[in-house]
A and B are shown apart, each in its own frame.
Chain A
Amino acid sequence: MNATASFEIPTLAQLLDPSFHFMKAIELWHQLPDIVPIFLTGVVLFGMVAVMGQAAAVVMVLMERKVLSWFTQRKGPNRVGPGGMFQTIADGVKLLTKEDIMTPVMDKFLFTLAPAIFLFPVFALYAIVPFSESLIGVSLPLGLLVLFALSSISVIGLVLAGWASNNKYSLLGGMRSAAQAISYEVPLILSVIGVVLFTGSGNLKTIIEAQSGGVLHWYGIMLTPLSFLLFYVASIAEVNRVPFDLPEAESELVSGYNTEYSGMKFATFFLAEYAGLFVLSALTVALFFGGYTSPFGGTFMQNYGLADAIIQAVKLPAIKPLLVNGEQIFWMLSKTYIFIYIAMLLRGTLPRLKPDQLMGFCWKFLIPLSLINLFMLGFAKQFSLSFLADGFAGSWIYLALAALVGICGVGGFCHFIDRQFKAQVAARYHA
């Protein structure tokens, strides 16, 4: 496109045609100096992360209250807006305008800093979550490493909140959260290593592309369902949700680390918790359930020529990536919300663990099991390399062998745990 062409006066027919303006905008975009699109992309991505984080949390708080009320045959919030839809917004306005109470014995600087330290790593995590093939903040080769690095920072916020409050309940909550987060990080990472082993990459987009063949290629269904279970349990513990919500156990610690918080600082904690649940559910989907691909492989838009048909109908070839990405976002978000629903189901079902049970479950059960799981996956990977070369029939032998090793390993471990447990119970009853 030469320079003079862009100054031509458009005809009335062109002005009334939306596709003309669309093409003009794309043309202008390409004429801008390189730095402007890069800068604008950064601004837009940051804005998107901020807005999506807030919006997801707002939706999830309402969803949590509604879903829990349905489980207990109640109606939940139903006064603000149609069906109580604007309840969270009303609550947010209330929290924003509430007095920010700080007692004189607090460490005011740390007390103010703690919610921010808790919130920002969680928001930063949105950057590595691939919502579609284009809608991803940064596609890092070691995105998973960033995930674990950032998710460990959050706990400092909780410990600081507990310490700065100068309150025994808060301090207990903060210390519990430190112990819990450090312990459950181990099975969380060990369970993901299996996926990395098979994909050969720590990039979330590569991991999703490796599972793009539909349900049977999803790691959580076929290859490593145990890894998925371990990851999900550990991630529920990482975001301090029931049954692992000891840091804020309201029946024993008032409200744990956020006992002394009010107003916007409390809202920040609340927001970060839900944002964290959203991110970890999204990562569960990305790692084990095909991320943004449909359950039938790829996307409908590409597989069945739907995108081409729509482009033919509206005569705008430029919207093809928009259509494909739109469908991918749809799959990603719907799968993520299924896992959020499951987290709410967990909250509606299970009672809270005792601190010793929490630690015992992690160190005596989850960590050994994830090590066995990792060993099995390494074994399976080695077999797959030597047998897959023989073609399809060989891959079935590999699957059968891997399944045999898996059943032996997990079965043996469960038997061991059972024997230990029975011995403990027997010792207690005969003492």
Chain B
Amino acid sequence: MSNHSHDAQHPLNAIEHAEGNVVFEGIKAIAQGFATVLKHHPREAVTLEYPEVMPELSDRFHGRLSLLSKSDDTDLCIGCQACARVCPCDDLIQIDMHRDDDKKPVVTRFTIDMGRCIFCGNCTEVCPVDCIKMLSDFELADYSREALVLDKKDLTLSGQESDEWRAKRGYTPTVL
């Protein structure tokens, strides 16, 4: 027995507690059901036919990871390893960096294995320079696992693209 079986106010028990004749109340209820279904027949379908029509996604959509650049196309990433440490997927993010003569950080390797990413977004939260971000690109399928390991070249957006991204979100970077 489910919970509504003794609840007189529950809509599923409407017929049992109807005032009028139960046969006519039942016919009325079925007719109302028909009317509701028929009302939906002429309505426009809400389906978006995906390959032809792209869905409108939220700005906060958790899609492909990418590295933003400074406006002059230089790297924003400082190689601090914060994203790699906070990542729940073990060694998903791998970063090699060294410091140049001016003690400025130089990132030589930055790879993300998108095939294992769970799109939790922790890396984007923790990044101290707001460099690693998620785009709304969700078409990530490829023919092999190796092809899903994106390197720094694949991940990095150009200065112009990064500026567009920041402008779209009304976003003030912490460090530039």
Chain A residues packing against B (C-beta within 8 Å):
69-75, 78, 345, 348-350, 414-415, 417-418, 421-422, 425, 429
| B103 interfacial by beta-carbon distance below 8 Å | no
Whether B47 contacts A417 by the Cβ 8 Å rule is no
A84 CB to closest chain B CB, in angstroms? 11
Query: How large, as a class, is the contact surface on chain B?
Result: 20 to 34
Residue ID in chain A nearest B34 by CB atoms:
A349
Which residues of B lie under 8 Å from residue A422 when comparing CB positions?
Answer: 22
Residue of chain A at shortest CB distance from B5: A428
The 5 closest A-B pairs by CB, nearest first: A414-B23, A349-B33, A418-B21, A75-B47, A75-B45
A417 with B37: CB separation less than 8 A? no
B28 smallest CB distance to A (angstroms): 13
With a CB–CB cut-off of 8 A, which chain B residues contact A73?
40, 43-47
The B31-55 residues at the A interface (CB cut-off 8 A) are 33-34, 36-38, 40-41, 43-47, 49
| Contacts from B to A (Cβ < 8 Å) | 6, 16-17, 21-24, 30, 33-34, 36-38, 40-41, 43-47, 49
In the assembled complex, the CB of B40 is this many whole angstroms from the nearest CB of chain A, namely 5
Write out the residue numbers on chain A whose beta carbons fall within 8 Å of the beta carbon of B24: 414
- Find out whether the CB atom of B23 lies under 8 angstroms from the CB atom of A418: yes
List B contacts of A348 (CB < 8 A).
37
Residue of A nearest to B15 (CB): A421
- Given contacts A345-B37, A350-B33, A417-B22, could you give 20 more A-B pairs where the C-beta distance is less than 8 Å? A70-B41, A71-B37, A73-B40, A73-B44, A73-B45, A73-B47, A74-B45, A74-B46, A75-B45, A78-B49, A345-B34, A345-B38, A349-B30, A350-B30, A414-B23, A415-B21, A418-B21, A418-B23, A421-B22, A425-B16
| Shortest Cβ gap from A365 to chain B (Å) | 8
With A414-B21, A417-B22 as known contacts, state yes or no: A75 contacts B37, CB within 8 Å: no
A64, chain B: closest CB distance, angstroms: 14
When chains A and B are docked, how far (Å) is the Cα of A418 from the Cα of B20? 9
